[in-house]
Structure 1
Amino acid sequence: MIEFSVGNYRSFKDVVTFSMVAAPIQHEDETTDLNNVFAIAKDISLLKSAAIYGANASGKSNLVRAIAFMRTFVLNSAVGRRVKEPIDTEIYRLSKDTEAEPSYFEIIFAIGTTRYRYGFEVDRLCVRSEWLYQTSISTEFELFSREGKEIYVSQKFIEGQDLVKKTRDNALFLSVVSQFNGSISTEIIDWFDRKLITISELEDESKYIEMSDEILMGDYRKQDLRSIVTGFDLGIVGLELITIPPDDVGDDTFFDIKTTRWKYDVDGSKLSLEEFNIDKEESAGTQKLYRLAGLLIIALEQGRILIIDELDGRLHPLVTSAIVKLFNSPKTNSENAQLIFTTHDTNLLSSNLFRKDQIWFTEKNRYGATDLYSLAEYKIPDRASFEQDYIAGKYGAVPFIGDLSRLLGKK
C-alpha cells in the first residue's frame, strides 16, 4: 500500500491522506533505514510499518474503519446487493456543509511493478463518482472515470467497454467488471481480497482466528505457529489441536485448542505436562497472541498489508515491540509485508524502532473533525526522545484532562 485518503466519513470532515511512502529523510542510524524501508521502483520507496497515536476518540479507529469500509464495498458492492439497497457509509455529522456531500475514499497501491490509483465517492443511495488510473514508469493514464450515471471507459480498459449499462447506481463499476472476469479488475479485486487485511478490536475476531486454527489442523507452518506462541515467555511449552469426535446426536466434528505447561513436584523438578483449554483457561492476552500468530505468519510469508486497530490491547509492550520488529527485519520479512496499527503504547515511540515518517498522529480540532499528520512534519534534533516529547504534548494528539477531583464535589 502506498497511500490512503478519506474524507466526510465518521470523524473525518476534510480529506486527509495517510502515506506509507518513505520521506526523503535520513535516520541517525543507517540500519533503521535499511531495515524499515523497501523500494518498489527507482522513484519510490515504502515503509514496512507505521504506528498511529492519538487520544481516545481522536479518530484512530475511524481510519481503520475507513480502509475496512472501502475494502468491503469493493468486494461486495456487485454481489448480492439489491437494486435500491442503501450503502452503509457514515458521513461527518458535525457540520451542515457535509450533510448532502458524499464520503470520499481513494487508495494508491502497487501490484508488482504496476501502480494503481483507485477511488470513489458514495452516499447512502448511490455511487456519485469513481475512477481508476494506472501508472507505468512515470506516466499516469486513465482507465475509467464515472460521474453520476455517466461512465467513461478508455481504450486501455477494454474489458469494461460493454458493461456500463450493467452497473447499478449502488454498485462499483470496478466490482461489476471483475464479475465478468476482466483481467485488470480481477487483479485489483484480488489485491483487496487477499493482500489487504483489516482487523478492528470492535469487530468479531473470528475472521482471523481461523488462520491459526487452519495451520494447527495441517502440517503447514505448524511449527512456526508454535514457535510464536511459545516464544513470548508465556510459560507455554506446547500447542495442540484436539479433535472431539461426533456424538450420537449430530455428525459434526469439533475441536479444542490446548496449551501445555510443565507441572512441578515439591522440589521444583518437572513432573508432567498439564493441558489447558486456550479459550476457557488461558488469559485474554494469550488468546489474542494465538489468534494473531497465524495472521502474522501468513502476512509475512505472502507480503500482505496488515492493518490492526489497538494492536497493543491485552499485550505486553515488549510483545508488541517484538511483533513490529518482525515486520521491520529483512530476515523475517523478506516479502515486504506492511504492518499498520493504532496504539496508545508510548514505549514504542523510539528512534531505535521507527523512523519519524513511520509515526502518525490523529487529533480533533475544536469542531470535532480529525486531522492526521506525521512526525516527519516536525523538525526534531538527533537523539530526541519521541516518547518524552509526545507525552509532554510537543506533537499534539494527547488528551486534555481537566480537574477530575471536581467530579466528587466538595465536602
Structure 2
Amino acid sequence: MLLEFGARNFFSFKEGFTFSLELNGNCPNSISKGRKTANIMGIKGANASGKTNVLRVLSFIKYLCTDSYNSAPKSEIPFDNFFGNNDPTDLFCRFVINEKKYLYEVSLNKKEIISEELSLDETEHFIFKRQLDKLISVAKDFDELNQIRIRNNVSIIHLAKQGEFSSLEPFFAFFDSILTNVTDYGLSNFHLDQSLICENYKNSHPERLANVKDLLKNADTGIVDVKIARSLSPKGDTQYHPVFYHDFNGKNYAVPFWHESSGTRKLFYDLALYYMALEQGGVLLLDEFDINLHPNLLPMLIDLFDDPEKNLNNAQMIFSTHDTAIMDRLGKYRTYLVNKENNESFGYRLDEIPGDILRNDRPVSSPYRNGKVGGVPKV
C-alpha cells in the first residue's frame, strides 16, 4: 500500500512537495470507512498548474525500479528538472509491504543516479545504500546484491530483477503494480497495447471482460454485449479487437469499435487498468480520468476503489480531474490542490488549510469555485 511520495526540482516543482494518502484522526468515518490510508485521492488545479507532474513523480519512480535497465547504457535518464538547472533532483516514496513500512529515496541528474537508498521507514536500518556506482551499505539478508554490476542510469531494484536476485522481488512487484496513463511526455493515449488487452480478455481473463460489460451496460451506453474478434494484420500477425452489440427491437446489431463514442472507447480500454489494479491490490494513476466521460459516471468509477466490498485487495487510485462536483464526494481529506506562482508549482491537501473555510458538514466545491482555497485559473 502506498503511503506518500514526493519530489524536489522535478519538472515544474522547484521546491519539495509531499503527496500523502495517510488520513488524520479528524477524517470522518463516512469518508475514511475506518481506513488510516486513503484508497482514493483526487488532484485539482488550473490548466498548466502541475497536476500531471504530481502523477509523473510516481510514474517516474516506477520507471526507475521496473524499466530503467531497458534503456541504453549511458543514455540520458528521461525526466526534466526545474527549467534545466544544475541541482540534483530528489524523489521519495513511502509504502507498506506485509505490514512493514519502507522508504525509497533517490537523487539523480539526467546523466546518472547520484544516490539511492531503500530502508525500513522511521529507522536507520538500510536494506541497501548506493552512491554513484558503488553499494556502500547492504543489509545482511540482502548480501547477494553485492554481486550486482551497477549501471549509472539504472535502479538497484531493476538491476536485481535482471540479475535474478530474489531478495528485492517484493519491492519490484510493488512498483510494478503501479499502473498509469502518464509517461515522461505526460498523458498518453498509447499507454495500452489494445490488441494485447483484447487477447487477455478473450483467452486469459474472461472475468475482466464480464465486469467491463456490466459497467458499460450500467453506464447507459446502449451496449448489450461485447465480443472479442480476431483478424490478421497486413503483415500476417494475429490481432484482437472488440465488437460491440446494441439491441434494437429485440435484435442485436454489431457495431465496430471505431463507430463507438470516444467515452465508450476510453472506458473499454481504461477499465482494463481499473480491474488489473483491483485484482493486484496495486496503485492506479490516471491523468484526466474524466476526459470524454459524463460527470454522472465518475462516482461509479470511484466507487470501484472506494467500496470495500468491491475493492477486496485495498487497491488505490490517484487521479487528476477538472470536474469540480467530485470534490464533494472526496471531501477535504482526499482532495489535493496544485497551484503555480511565477511558473513554479506547489501543492497541498485541502485539510492542510487552516481555519474554518472548509468544514466537514459543508461541500468543499463552493469555496473552491469562489477561489477561496486556490487551484483555479486567474483569468
Structure 1 runs (4+) deviating above 4 angstroms are none
> Taking structure 1 as reference, are residues 177 and 258 closer, same or farther at Cα in structure 2, changes over 3 Å only?
closer
Q: Which piece of structure 1 moves more, 250-259 or 385-394?
A: 250-259
Q: Which amino acid counterpart does residue 138 of structure 2 have in structure 1?
A: S
Q: Which amino acid counterpart does residue 377 of structure 1 have in structure 2?
A: E
Per-residue CA distance 1:226-257 (angstroms, 9 max, x = gap): 1112211111111111233x59x864333431
In structure 1, distance between residues paired with 2:193 and 2:315: 17
Give the alignment of 1:225-374 within 5 angstroms: 225-244=212-231, 246=232, 251-263=236-248, 270-278=249-257, 280-350=258-328, 353-365=329-341, 367-374=342-349
The SS at the match of 1:349 is helix
> Taking structure 1 as reference, are residues 149 and 250 closer, same or farther at Cα in structure 2, changes over 3 Å only?
closer
> Taking structure 1 as reference, are residues 170 and 223 closer, same or farther at Cα in structure 2, changes over 3 Å only?
closer
Give the alignment of 1:27-38 within 5 angstroms: 27=28, 30-34=29-33, 38=35
Q: Which amino acid counterpart does residue 68 of structure 2 have in structure 1?
A: S
Query: C-alpha displacement at 1:140, in angstroms?
Result: 5.1
Select the structure of larger CA radius of gyration. Answer: 1
Of residues 353, 373, 377, the one that matches 1:395 is 373
Per-residue CA distance 1:315-361 (angstroms, 9 max, x = gap): 111111111112110111111110100001001011xx224221100
The SS at the match of 2:119 is strand
What is the RMSD computed on CA atoms of the aligned residues?
2.1
In structure 2, distance between residues paired with 1:31 and 1:171: 43
Q: Which piece of structure 1 moves more, 327-336 or 217-226?
A: 217-226
Q: Which amino acid counterpart does residue 369 of structure 1 have in structure 2?
A: E
Q: Which amino acid counterpart does residue 78 of structure 2 have in structure 1?
A: D
Q: Does 1:159 align with 2:144?
A: yes
Partner of 1:20: 21
Q: Which amino acid counterpart does residue 23 of structure 1 have in structure 2?
A: N
Q: TM-score normalized by structure 2?
A: 0.91
Query: C-alpha displacement at 1:78, in angstroms?
Result: 2.9
Of residues 57, 65, 86, the one that matches 1:66 is 57
Partner of 2:160: 177
> Taking structure 1 as reference, are residues 251 and 177 closer, same or farther at Cα in structure 2, changes over 3 Å only?
closer
Partner of 1:114: 100
Query: C-alpha displacement at 1:208, in angstroms?
Result: 6.1
Per-residue CA distance 1:195-214 (angstroms, 9 max, x = gap): 11121373143426443552
The SS at the match of 1:346 is coil
In structure 2, distance between residues paired with 1:75 and 1:255: 27
Q: Does 1:92 align with 2:79?
A: no
The SS at the match of 2:115 is strand
Contact 1:228 1:293 in 2 (8 A): no
Per-residue CA distance 1:260-317 (angstroms, 9 max, x = gap): 1122xxxxxx142111011x20110010011122222222222111010000100111
Contact 2:332 2:350 in 1 (8 A): yes
Q: Which amino acid counterpart does residue 237 of structure 1 have in structure 2?
A: V
Of residues 112, 122, 125, the one that matches 1:126 is 112
The SS at the match of 2:125 is strand
In structure 1, distance between residues paired with 2:310 and 2:288: 23
In structure 1, distance between residues paired with 2:22 and 2:193: 27
The SS at the match of 2:192 is helix
In structure 2, distance between residues paired with 1:139 and 1:101: 27
Q: Which residues of structure 2 form unaligned runs of 5+?
A: none
Contact 1:50 1:339 in 2 (8 A): yes
The SS at the match of 2:243 is strand
In structure 2, distance between residues paired with 1:109 and 1:212: 32
In structure 2, distance between residues paired with 1:397 and 1:390: 8
The SS at the match of 1:46 is coil
Query: C-alpha displacement at 1:190, in angstroms?
Result: 1.9
In structure 1, distance between residues paired with 2:102 and 2:306: 25
Contact 1:153 1:160 in 2 (8 A): no
Of residues 175, 178, 181, the one that matches 1:199 is 181
Q: Which residues of structure 1 form unaligned runs of 5+?
A: 39-44, 264-269, 402-411
In structure 2, distance between residues paired with 1:206 and 1:181: 27
Q: TM-score normalized by structure 1?
A: 0.84
The SS at the match of 1:207 is coil
> Taking structure 1 as reference, are residues 360 and 6 closer, same or farther at Cα in structure 2, changes over 3 Å only?
same
In structure 2, distance between residues paired with 1:91 and 1:187: 29
